[in-house]
Amino acid sequence: MVLDGFLDATYTWRGGSQPLAWSAPLTLVFSFLTFLWYRRDSDQYGYRRSRGLNVAIILLTPFAVPYYLLRSRPAGHKLRALLKCAGFALLIVLSAALGMVLSGHPL
């Protein structure tokens, strides 16, 4: 995400937009890593994955991951899982912002 923020800010600062040759592979890597986590986590918790949720985890990550966490976690562990998810989302945003700062682009 730091690299993505850096590239996006650099291209924007120069008056253009980030080329698809950079943004597409970065998006695919992020989607792959998210799905890999989901697959391993669901195996660990014994949660039966559905085809619809598999697709949603890739295409609608910000909505599908919290939904999955609410469905897969036992009672008493749901809130903690959601807080961890929110913390991770915050780290993603901060790392993208760090990339923008490293590029010299003002926030």
Could you report the per-residue pLDDT of 26-66, keeping only the tens digit for each? 888 888 999 999 999 999 999 999 999 999 999 999 999 99
The pTM of the full predicted model, rounded to 2 decimals, is: 0.77
Three-state SS for 65? Answer: helix
Which structure tokens are listed for 107?
């926030």
Q: Is the CB of residue 10 less than 8 Å from the CB of residue 96?
A: no
pLDDT in tens, 84-94: 999 999 988 88
Distance CA 27, CA 59 (A): 11
The domain locations on the chain are 2-102
